[in-house]
Structure 1
């Protein structure tokens, strides 16, 4: 297993007109961070030098052209483009969206090739990244295509983990998306992630209902009784500790969430509103279910404060630490699975 200081953390730079680049450089302005990992920022040395100078940051950057040139103990910037970039903080710009995708694509390629150990993605603007060659609603869907597995948005913080049956789906389409197959797939993904990524031996999972009051016996919709409940009962028969569906409106206020290792919400806002309320900017978006580790902060581009030097680094720093922890947990889980009795592999 790699020592922590040798873990290569790739960082896609996201929307350069937002707060992502500022936050990344502020984090690594603290040299102690370099004791935990070797950062590789996918952007360009010119671009990151501009950001560094704009915020008057005391940080040394090491420009490289291949991941193999990255130096331990340095903040490495892999040059994904050569030209100058016109950064105007706080503005949506289609050209800036193109650079965000260049960074993401090269970082993902490095992740697939195991040139980096994990990926932390800075926020993108889901509108300005759209093009003829990139038609994804966000990072998760793109990574699901590029990496093996079935992705699941898993929001994690100390004492709270929330997964989603559906993420970037219009509200009017949610019920049609939640099928028995999807429910089983997402619960299995959460269950496996809790075991291998978070060291939970016997996971307890709560599921929130689709309709208000889980349908009130069909008065407010029948999806909970006809789709969700029967599927959960089937999963329970396999031995998994899965409970619900619970009415979402009282679940968090009653502190019931503290009794479970993870909660699965039926749709985006049902899960993310309580998560962001309770996590106080310490939350991390982890893409579970893939064969590689990817995390991101729980905030967006924050155009309204971009360029002002006031961005909070807490969530992004937590995304880095969480990614490292998951990477190490997964390595340990794989080693134990391959050698469950702990026998030495040395010949006697």
Structure 2
């Protein structure tokens, strides 16, 4: 077995430079313990980093600009300029230029991931509105990366110390949710969650709770049949195969009684059903992890936060947790001689 000696290289796509992405990234990378564990590569632009270093009075934040990943320095924070022109930074303002740069940063990171030059990717928040267009459809990092790596399926998996919540449907309008919940879709997401809990989180026999989609989990068919006709049979099938899968549970009572603490993972049926309780409990430390991809990708669980951008008010806890989680999964899945 060949043990890798260098520190893992983790790419960080800067996201929207007019949001809090640069700020939380820089603050997180000031963690001296983290700097000893990884080699960070920021995909963005040196001018933007310099701008925020001055604005946030972070004069001790040092970085080295490199032309490409081949020029990486393992004892430095590396910055790759993903656009030739110097970007205009206007904190709190949505601009097309910022969207262009956010997408360029993500695309260059994808190139380097595919070339096995990065061990993981952490994505800072971006604004879908200033990226999405007819030429470049963009509804979210999860979907974009799933397509980029030609993964047939993936799972939006929200992770914190207190809970792990996966979603059957992600960025789907509420009126389309029920039609998207099928036996096949629930089975697929459960398979990905089980595999991820075992391989990415090291849980040999994970215990999973599955939520219902209707109020009171359908109330025995009174408030909907999806639980009886779709979800219950899937749960039974997984149980019969020896998996610790239970449900469907009514979401309100489940989270109200803090039952998530009894399970290694929770499978929610739609976006807000899972993310509202998750962010209520873990907003400052939660991580968005994309399970089911051939690469490791994490992200803070918040958005661009234009309202506080450039005010030195953004909490870097979620970004720091995203980088640490990426490191931990790298360590768990590979042959590394890494510090604890």
- In 1, the alpha carbon distance for the partners of 2:83 and 2:112 equals 16
- In 2, the alpha carbon distance for the partners of 1:170 and 1:263 equals 21
Contact 1:154 1:164 survives alignment (8 Å)? yes
2:201 corresponds in structure 1 to 198
- In 2, the alpha carbon distance for the partners of 1:16 and 1:70 equals 23
Instruction: Measure how far apart 1:320 and its partner are.
Output: 0.2
- In 2, the alpha carbon distance for the partners of 1:158 and 1:30 equals 19
2:168 corresponds in structure 1 to 165
Unpaired runs of 5+ residues, structure 2, are none
- 1:102-121 alignment to 2 at 5 Å? 102-121=104-123
Contact 1:61 1:74 survives alignment (8 Å)? yes
- In 2, the alpha carbon distance for the partners of 1:30 and 1:240 equals 39
- 1:299-310 alignment to 2 at 5 Å? 299-310=302-313
Contact 1:118 1:293 survives alignment (8 Å)? yes
- 1:1-348 alignment to 2 at 5 Å? 1-3=3-5, 6-57=7-58, 58-149=60-151, 150-331=153-334
SS at match of 1:292: coil
- In 1, the alpha carbon distance for the partners of 2:203 and 2:282 equals 21
Q: TM (normalized to structure 1)?
A: 0.92
Instruction: Measure how far apart 1:159 and its partner are.
Output: 3.1
- In 2, the alpha carbon distance for the partners of 1:265 and 1:251 equals 11
Instruction: Measure how far apart 1:214 and its partner are.
Output: 0.9
SS at match of 1:309: coil
Contact 1:90 1:306 survives alignment (8 Å)? yes
- In 2, the alpha carbon distance for the partners of 1:77 and 1:276 equals 30
SS at match of 1:316: helix
Unpaired runs of 5+ residues, structure 1, are 334-348
- In 1, the alpha carbon distance for the partners of 2:234 and 2:28 equals 44
Instruction: Measure how far apart 1:190 and its partner are.
Output: 0.1
- In 2, the alpha carbon distance for the partners of 1:76 and 1:30 equals 15
- In 1, the alpha carbon distance for the partners of 2:126 and 2:265 equals 27
Cα RMSD (Å): 1.4
SS at match of 1:290: coil
What is the CA deviation profile of residues 106-143 of structure 1, one whole-angstrom value per residue up to 9, with x for unaligned ones?
01111121111000000011111112332121000000
- In 1, the alpha carbon distance for the partners of 2:230 and 2:216 equals 15
- In 1, the alpha carbon distance for the partners of 2:4 and 2:304 equals 33
Contact 1:148 1:291 survives alignment (8 Å)? no
SS at match of 1:127: helix
SS at match of 1:134: coil
- In 2, the alpha carbon distance for the partners of 1:46 and 1:82 equals 11
Q: TM (normalized to structure 2)?
A: 0.94
- In 2, the alpha carbon distance for the partners of 1:85 and 1:177 equals 40
When structure 1 is superposed on structure 2, of 26-35 and 311-320 the one drifting more is 26-35
What is the CA deviation profile of residues 255-290 of structure 1, one whole-angstrom value per residue up to 9, with x for unaligned ones?
221111100000011111111112241110000011
Higher relative contact order (CA 8 A, sep 6+): 2
